[in-house]
Structure 1
Amino acid sequence: MITVTGANKRYGSFAALDNISLDIPSGSLTALLGPSGSGKSTLLRSIAGLESLDSGVVTISGKDVTHVSPQKRDIGFVFQHYAAFKHMTVRDNVAFGLKIRKRPKPEIAKRVDELLKIVGLDGFQHRYPAQLSGGQRQRMALARALAVDPQVLLLDEPFGALDAKVRADLRTWLRRLHEEVHVTTVLVTHDQEEALDVADRIAVLNKGRIEQVGTPEDLYDRPANDFVMSFLGEVAKLNGHLVRPHDIRIGRDPSMALVQNEGTAESAGVTRATVERVVHLGFEVRVELRNAATNELFSAQVTRGDSEALGLHEGETVYARATRIPVLPQRVIEPAAEGAVAVTASAAR
């Protein structure tokens, strides 16, 4: 387990870490998620020993490593940029850490062959980094970090420099790799989809503080506050409430926005809106709407089937309601404008 207790780090007047405490279970894949400047990379580098804390304690497997050099923390580190040795082959890059530790040559050869097979680079041993794709170079970097059998693997936005399709493929691959090697892994990312797709647990950071820690399901379905909800997925604002666009039901008349035995349009908080734009996104459709009562824009996501059944077109009047509203303790509920029926949390469930 990695434990960070009371971590503080300032750069002049800027607080990169503001009294952060975090437990990372052994064998987990934990994502540190947040916007630029939230402190996630500083926290990762503090765990690695690449940044010294102003105050606080870092322990790995029960050992205080706060003042231990990075080389003695038994970690593997992968950066966004691969930092490969260009003059070395794939095999020599992966073997580098083992050679530095003066492991026997047969042991090095066996370990390198095992890892290249695991990361899908078997047969690429004699190529040079320039002969690999970006995704292959990053997999080589991960194999090199794993070669020394570290207690902890730290990944600092490892897929940030790659295009969207390669990133998606590598996310799937990283998840499978983690299930196979089970090394405690910490991933820094600002990509919400990446965190939801890959991690067992997510710590959401903002302005040097941790807003919430939990499973992807916990954070998405039960966010602690507006920031977590807004950062972890799309949101729409409907009559002063933050809701997920896929939790908004649309109908041609007030009753069509309801489901059977749900009550009246007034009790369920049905809102009249105008269709501003219909955007087809493959298997789903985003409907951009304007609240007739408040004049605010909001978006709903519907299936292609529902969109085709409704026959939605710009300028038409429809009726919308939130089918689910997360309870956000720190949310300030704005009063609904005259003519709009505010949806309460109890009515949405």
Structure 2
Amino acid sequence: MITVTNANKRYGTFAALDNVSIDIPSGELTALLGPSGSGKSTLLRSIAGLETLDDGVVTIAGKDVTDVSPQKRDIGFVFQHYAAFKHMTVRDNVAFGLKIRKRPKPEIKKKVDDLLEIVGLDGFQHRYPAQLSGGQRQRMALARALAVDPQVLLLDEPFGALDAKVRADLRTWLRRLHEEVHVTTVLVTHDQEEALDVADRIAVMNKGRIEQVGTPADVYDRPANEFVMSFLGAVAKLNGHLVRPHDIRVGRDPSMALAAHEGTAESAGVTRATVERVVQLGFEVRVELRNAATGDLFTAQVTRGDAAALHLAEGETVYARATQIPELPVS
């Protein structure tokens, strides 16, 4: 368990952390998610001991480490940029921390071989970092961080410098790796899809504060406020309500009777709208609509089958309603 209590960190007049408290459960992967400047990297670096808090306490496994040096916190740290030793082979890079700790050679060999197999680099032992792809170098960095059996693994935008396809592949790999090693892991990311894909829990940060902590389903389906809802996935505004585009039903029938079980969606009513644009997005279709009553633009997301059945085309009149509206606090 990692516990941060009443953490404050200022840079001049800028509050990077504003009285932040969070519990990070042992063995779970927790994502710190937020826009640039939200404080997520400062919080991670404070856990690592790379930032000194103005106020507050950090404990790891029940031990107060607030004033303990990073080298003595028993953590592994992986940055966005690989920080590999370019003159060392993959094997020597991964073994580096074990050699510094003067572990026996047979132990080092077995540990490195096991880790390289786990991270999918078996057979790459004698290559140098320049001979690896970006994704392979990042997997090597993770193996190096795990080699010393840290209590905590801290990942600061580890896939941020990679292209979208490689990031998606590494997200899947990271989730499998975590399920195998079960080390307490904290991941900093600004990528909502990445957080939803890999994390057991997500802490959404904004302006140095934590807005909400919960499972991916909690923060997506039951956002604590408008910021969380707007940051964590696409939103549309329909008759004064924030809704998910995939929760907007589009049809040709102006009645579009509301089902009782859809609860608060009744308050949004049925809206007449004009199709402004239809965009094919792979297996989905984004329909950009203009509210006939207010002139406001909003977006609905429908399946390709529904779009074809409705014969959606620019300039045509359709009717829309929300099937689900999250209950947000009144501001």
TM more than 0.5: yes
Q: How many angstroms apart in 1 are the aligned matches of 2:296 and 2:45?
A: 42
Residues 60-94 of structure 1: CA deviation (Å, up to 9, x unaligned): 00000000000000000000000000000000000
Deviation of the 1:253 alpha carbon: 2.4
2:239 touches 2:268 (CA, 8 Å); kept in 1?
no
Deviation of the 1:257 alpha carbon: 6.9
Residues 193-219 of structure 1: CA deviation (Å, up to 9, x unaligned): 000000000000000000000000000
- TM-score, length-normalised on structure 1? 0.92
Deviation of the 1:266 alpha carbon: 8.7
Inter-CA distance 299–78: structure 2 relative to 1 (3 Å threshold): same
Inter-CA distance 101–286: structure 2 relative to 1 (3 Å threshold): same
Residues 313-336 of structure 1: CA deviation (Å, up to 9, x unaligned): 0000100000100000xxxxxxxx
Counterpart check, 1:313 vs 2:307: no
Indicate the SS of the match to 2:256: helix
Q: How many angstroms apart in 2 are the aligned matches of 1:317 and 1:261?
A: 27
Indicate the SS of the match to 1:301: strand
2:264 touches 2:324 (CA, 8 Å); kept in 1?
no
2:238 touches 2:268 (CA, 8 Å); kept in 1?
no
Matched residue, 2:144: 144
Inter-CA distance 257–275: structure 2 relative to 1 (3 Å threshold): farther
Matched residue, 2:192: 192
Inter-CA distance 11–262: structure 2 relative to 1 (3 Å threshold): closer
Inter-CA distance 121–155: structure 2 relative to 1 (3 Å threshold): same
Residues 77-136 of structure 1: CA deviation (Å, up to 9, x unaligned): 000000000000000000000001110100000000000000000000000000000000
Deviation of the 1:260 alpha carbon: 10
Deviation of the 1:264 alpha carbon: 15
Q: How many angstroms apart in 2 are the aligned matches of 1:117 and 1:301?
A: 42
Deviation of the 1:262 alpha carbon: 8.4
Residues 28-68 of structure 1: CA deviation (Å, up to 9, x unaligned): 00000000000000000000000000000000000000000
Q: How many angstroms apart in 2 are the aligned matches of 1:88 and 1:264?
A: 61
Q: How many angstroms apart in 2 are the aligned matches of 1:118 and 1:255?
A: 57
Task: Between 264-273 and 225-234, report the one with greater CA deviation.
Answer: 264-273
Matched residue, 1:154: 154
Inter-CA distance 28–262: structure 2 relative to 1 (3 Å threshold): closer
Q: How many residues align?
A: 328
Inter-CA distance 275–257: structure 2 relative to 1 (3 Å threshold): farther
Indicate the SS of the match to 1:180: helix
1:250 touches 1:257 (CA, 8 Å); kept in 2?
no
Inter-CA distance 7–266: structure 2 relative to 1 (3 Å threshold): closer
Matched residue, 1:83: 83
Q: How many angstroms apart in 1 are the aligned matches of 2:37 and 2:313?
A: 41
1:29 touches 1:178 (CA, 8 Å); kept in 2?
yes
Alpha-carbon RMSD? 1.8
Deviation of the 1:139 alpha carbon: 0.1
1:291 touches 1:298 (CA, 8 Å); kept in 2?
yes
Deviation of the 1:261 alpha carbon: 10
2:265 touches 2:322 (CA, 8 Å); kept in 1?
no
Deviation of the 1:255 alpha carbon: 2.7
1:94 touches 1:143 (CA, 8 Å); kept in 2?
yes
Q: How many angstroms apart in 2 are the aligned matches of 1:214 and 1:196?
A: 11
Q: How many angstroms apart in 2 are the aligned matches of 1:208 and 1:297?
A: 32
Q: How many angstroms apart in 2 are the aligned matches of 1:264 and 1:206?
A: 28
Inter-CA distance 262–64: structure 2 relative to 1 (3 Å threshold): closer
Deviation of the 1:256 alpha carbon: 4.3
Specify every segment of 5 or more residues in structure 2 that has no aligned partner in the other structure, as ranges: none
Deviation of the 1:170 alpha carbon: 0.2
Q: How many angstroms apart in 1 are the aligned matches of 2:168 and 2:175?
A: 11
Q: How many angstroms apart in 1 are the aligned matches of 2:136 and 2:70?
A: 26
Inter-CA distance 287–308: structure 2 relative to 1 (3 Å threshold): same
Deviation of the 1:160 alpha carbon: 0.1
1:257 touches 1:320 (CA, 8 Å); kept in 2?
no
Deviation of the 1:6 alpha carbon: 0.4
Inter-CA distance 286–108: structure 2 relative to 1 (3 Å threshold): same
Q: How many angstroms apart in 2 are the aligned matches of 1:158 and 1:263?
A: 41
Counting aligned pairs with the same residue, the percent is 90
Deviation of the 1:254 alpha carbon: 1.1
2:265 touches 2:323 (CA, 8 Å); kept in 1?
no
